[in-house]
Amino acid sequence: MKKILCLFFSALMILSAAASLAESGALPSLREIYAEKFDIGTAVPRMIAANKSRMDFCATQFVIFTPENELKPDAVLDVTASRALAQEDDTAVAVRFDAAKPLLDYAKENGLKVHGHVLVWHSQTPDAFFHEGYAVSKPFVSREVMLARLENYIKAVMEYMDANYPGVIVSWDVLNEAVNDGSSNLRGSNWLKIIGQDYPARAFEYARKYAPEGTLLFYNDYNTAQEPKQTGIVNLLKTLIAEGNIDGYGFQMHHDADYPSNAQIENAVKRISALGLKLRVSELDVGIPNNSEASLQKQAKKYADIMRILDKYADQFIAVQVWGISDNVSWRSAKYPLLFDKAMNPKPAFWAVADPNGPGILPGLIVSSLYPGLTEQDEKRIIMHGHSNSLNQPGGDMPCSDTERTESC
């Protein structure tokens, strides 16, 4: 228990110090740097959204937020309540938003934007949604019933948000990852099996019908830089553009420092941009094999390269969002993919995003101001690795590393 409390209060102190660092002007604000180009944002899980000190810090850096899981269908569709309603009407849908409220409330109170993610997806959607009576033991519903459920679901989500959080959700991923990996065809999801090839178009039709005026509607996918999937994405977008209900495309850029190549990334952006849609990077992170100095610098270079590519198309990009706050809470945590390390220290990647055309100099002056009297070697260690006490003890002992960690640390 003592160790748990120690770690908890240490984390709070780290976040407080990080926020103070940002407020002091020592840490530049990404949202301010890019204010004239596009919104800079991040994804946050519920545990961060409910932590005011963390959100206060995030708000110094980011202006738009995506709930990491809390608006996905498995968090929103109330299967038990829907099953009860289905006894009278098998097309009825019940929804709930408890998981998303911490982020929505914070955004509403602080004038921040939220990007909704996601209305229609093959994953993290209760299987019961596709079955008669919302019972997985029963057959799939008919096309007509599934279309009605889809429309009722989207209607319920849009109407709740407009009534309770007007203007907070500025955009939605209507459809996510519909194109199959390694092909140009639609993924063989339950949506495709029950409704057919036109289910993406119907999803956007219903979203446009019920979305508050001005809400932007996006298709979102990953591996856009890879063929033949890229062609499949382009073909789907052309179909949706012809229907007149889509506003833009979201690039999931879950990349590694050495793949895909910058040429592949730029070719994908160029090809999609030629369709005339609004663009956003919805899920950006860059994986590396370890957190050595060499790997962190390689990661920073990749972030800088990506930001320079996006800058060429800044007139079409409306937002760029990293997928998480710090490495330890990332879904790719083993690859250290984000801008802040586990102690909320800005990594070289942060400085690369802050100034993609800069010399890449490590921010030693910030660490030295927090740790008077540090040797150059110790200063570099904090900058590159940032452990759990590295922002909260000016003039104190050096933080212990993972291999040095003890009960008292």
Q: At what angle do helices 229-243 and 199-210 cross, to 10 degrees?
A: 50
> Which residues are registered as beta bridge partners of 251?
221, 281
Strands 169-176 and 113-121: parallel
Kindly tell me the number of DSSP H helices and DSSP E strands found in the chain. Answer: 16, 8
**Rg (the chain; Cα; Å):** 22
Strands 278-287 and 64-67: unpaired
To the query of whether residue 293 is one of the catalytic residues in this protein, the response is no
Catalytic residue among 70, 151, 177, 379: 177
Preceding peptide of 136 cis, ω within 30°: no
Rounded Cα gap, residues 36 and 173, in angstroms: 24
Tokens of 28: 């530049």
Rounded Cα gap, residues 139 and 133, in angstroms: 9
Cβ proximity of 178 and 187 under 8 Å: yes
Rounded Cα gap, residues 385 and 20, in angstroms: 20
Catalytic residue among 151, 205, 266, 283: 283
Q: How far apart are the first and last CA of the chain?
A: 13
Rounded Cα gap, residues 95 and 71, in angstroms: 11
Cβ proximity of 136 and 94 under 8 Å: no
- DSSP 8-state class, residue 289: S
CA 318 to mean position of chain CA atoms? 15
Phi–psi pair at 51, nearest 5 degrees: -105, 105
To the query of whether residue 177 is one of the catalytic residues in this protein, the response is yes
Give catalytic residues, as residue numbers.
177, 283
